[in-house]
Amino acid sequence: MLVPKVQLIPSSEQVTDLLRETGALREGHFEFPTGQHTGHYFQMPLAMRYHGNARVLNVALSRLLRREPEVLAALPKCAIVAPAAGGIPVAFGVREALNADQIFWAEKDEGRYHFRQYLDAKGLKCILVDDLVRSGKVITSMIDVIQKAGAEVVAIGSLVHFKDAHFDAGNVPYYALLEVEARFYQPAECPLCKTGQPFEKVWA
Ligand SMILES: [Zn+2]
């Protein structure tokens, strides 16, 4: 564990070091299934394997979310909601730190996110969390799914946010623990290809 006091919000450098040490962040030359190239590859579940690390990250994100008056007003009758597998360990950690009273998550079927059929979320205030926001597409579809369930998103939080991700969250405040400048290139424009560095194929 890199950060001795979980009471503090770790710096970007400390979060980056933690992700690097656990293998959750790799730097090099990577090709995604889309054919795009990048110099950074994130596998957040590798950081969340260790309880101590997961706790540091989740507590820090919770401290950011606590800055939001709407979050404080909604607690404890509030749900922490995750899109799918990657966000679930974040939801459990944030719930514990914020003392919110429930957690639920969506499941992806035929390219769309759904909640369990008999979930009653009408009128519920929700904090939407995920491990990593790369394009923002998952967040925007989750806002839609939550609103269609009759619930309200009061805040959004993620451990990592790619600065290039522009998404429309309306007036909902968004907090990220680590802002990352990770560029994606078509191979023809990839600066790493130009240096002749071999690339590694990865899955999203
Ligand atoms: Zn390349």
- Say how many Å lie between the CA of residue 134 and the centre of ligand 1: 19
- Say how many Å lie between the CA of residue 48 and the centre of ligand 1: 28
- Say how many Å lie between the CA of residue 37 and the centre of ligand 1: 5
* Per-chain mean pLDDT for the chain: 93
| Predicted confidence (pLDDT) per residue in 65-119, tens digit | 999 999 999 999 999 999 988 999 999 999 999 999 999 999 998 889 999 989 9
2: pLDDT strictly greater than 70: no
| Predicted confidence (pLDDT) per residue in 126-160, tens digit | 999 999 998 899 999 999 999 999 999 999 999 99
**Which pLDDT value is given to residue 3?**
46
- Say how many Å lie between the CA of residue 24 and the centre of ligand 1: 20
- Say how many Å lie between the CA of residue 199 and the centre of ligand 1: 6
**Which pLDDT value is given to residue 8?**
76
Look up residue 91 and give its two tokens: 């939801």
20 vs 28: CA distance, rounded Å? 12
- Say how many Å lie between the CA of residue 32 and the centre of ligand 1: 10
| Predicted confidence (pLDDT) per residue in 156-178, tens digit | 999 999 988 778 888 899 999 99
The DSSP 8-state label assigned to residue 193 in this structure reads: H
Could you list which residues have their CB under 5 Å from ion ligand 1? 37, 190, 192-193
- Say how many Å lie between the CA of residue 71 and the centre of ligand 1: 42
**Which pLDDT value is given to residue 129?**
98
| Predicted confidence (pLDDT) per residue in 42-70, tens digit | 999 999 999 999 999 999 999 999 999 99
Provide the whole-model pTM.
0.91
3-state secondary structure string, 139-182?
HHHHHHHHHHCCCEEEEEEEEEEECCCCCCCCCCCEEEEEEECC
**Which pLDDT value is given to residue 180?**
93
- Say how many Å lie between the CA of residue 109 and the centre of ligand 1: 32
What architecture is the 12-201 domain classified under in CATH? 3-Layer(aba) Sandwich (3.40)
Q: Give the pLDDT band (50/70/90) at residue 182.
A: confident
- Say how many Å lie between the CA of residue 197 and the centre of ligand 1: 8
**Which pLDDT value is given to residue 7?**
56
Contacts (Cβ under 8 Å, ≥6 apart) of 87: 105, 129, 130, 131
- Say how many Å lie between the CA of residue 118 and the centre of ligand 1: 46
Name the residue ranges covered by the structural domains of the chain.
Answer: 12-201
Average of pLDDT values for 187-204? 94
- Say how many Å lie between the CA of residue 35 and the centre of ligand 1: 9
